[in-house]
Amino acid sequence: MSKRSDILDGTETKNLVKKYGLIYTCRGGWIDLGHLNPSNPRIEIGAENLWRQLISEGSALTDPRCEAPKYTVVAHRVAHHFLKPEVCKTDSRYKFDDGKTGFEVRHRQDHAGYPLKPGREGRYVVKHDLSLEQKKQVALAIFMEVSLRFESFQKLLSPVTDSGYSQEDLVSNLIGFYIGIGEIEKLAALRLCHPTSDKTAYKVWDSEGAVGKNKNSEWQPKHARATERVDTTQCRDECALVNKQFPAEFTTIKPAPKGVWFRELP
């Protein structure tokens, strides 16, 4: 949950390279640097790790019951736990309509600082030998689906955390996705959004309310109604000469539909 004290001066480069903090931008609205961060030491967390799974392509996925038992089978006790070979060959959950095999991809978002790390995740089988562009579309579809699940989960806790669908969450996630798959560098991405000073950010917060109170369930930012502020005796507006449209660079990839290139595992 972002607080007013998290606000940083976005006009200073030293703040843009930080992993945590909140900045206001003329084109991207509020951006949470924590949500934007695509890296994580846990392999199931972060856009960067999701992309790494897709690029590396694991081995062909099958039902674990199709694997030969690694112990002596006593027919009348355990044989029924394993599937017949002909069933394994035709199991549609692990193969696609054209006969191609798939590999497992897991993506998760959670509250790492809470006991038991409560959150939401998805496990998917992704078709082997997709093109680079197809993998980007699959990655975005998985990333968006899990993001929405996590935000909906947080919304259930909103009386406590007020963080589900917070104004900055999804947009920050999306920008972080493009950084994580290598489409753009972090500094370039943030500068595209035209960060403002902390003075303007404070003005927006104080006039329009906390980001957690202003919900946003879209992948497009909600811009402040006004960004003018009085600086000593002058009225200043850091966004006055800026095209406030969300940068097109963050809309070039379209999420793939489920079923053709990937599907969720049961």
- What pLDDT shows up at residue 66? 72
Distance CA 228, CA 250 (A): 27
- Residue 252: pLDDT band (50, 70, 90) is very high
Taking only the tens place, the pLDDT of each residue in 207-229 is 999 999 999 999 999 999 999 99
- What pLDDT shows up at residue 266? 78
Distance CA 169, CA 213 (A): 12
CA quadruple 79, 265, 134, 38: dihedral sign? negative
Q: What does DSSP say about strands 102-110 and 22-25: parallel, antiparallel, or unpaired?
A: unpaired
Question: How distant, in Å, are the alpha carbons of 49, 109, 122 from that of 43?
Answer: 6, 11, 13
Taking only the tens place, the pLDDT of each residue in 145-203 is 999 999 999 888 766 666 789 999 999 999 999 999 999 999 999 999 999 999 999 99
| Comparison of pLDDT for 158 and 118, the residue scoring more | 118
* Total length of the chain: 266
- Regarding pTM above 0.85, the answer is yes
Q: Which of 42, 41, 28 is nearest to 176 (CA)?
A: 28
Q: Render the burial of 234-261: b for 16+ CB within 10 Å, e for the rest.
A: eeeebbeeeeeebbeebeebebbeeeeb
CB 54: neighbour CB atoms within 10 A?
22
Under 8 Å between Cβ of 28 and 58: no
Distance CA 79, CA 84 (A): 10
What are phi and psi for residue 248, nearest 5 degrees? -65, -20
* pLDDT above 50 (res 80): no
Under 8 Å between Cβ of 20 and 163: no
3-class SS of residue 7: strand
Q: What is the mean pLDDT of the chain?
A: 89
What does DSSP assign to residue 93? T
Helix, strand counts (H, E) of the chain: 10, 7
Instruction: Give the mean model confidence (pLDDT) for residues 1-26.
Output: 95
Distance CA 150, CA 259 (A): 22
- What pLDDT shows up at residue 76? 46
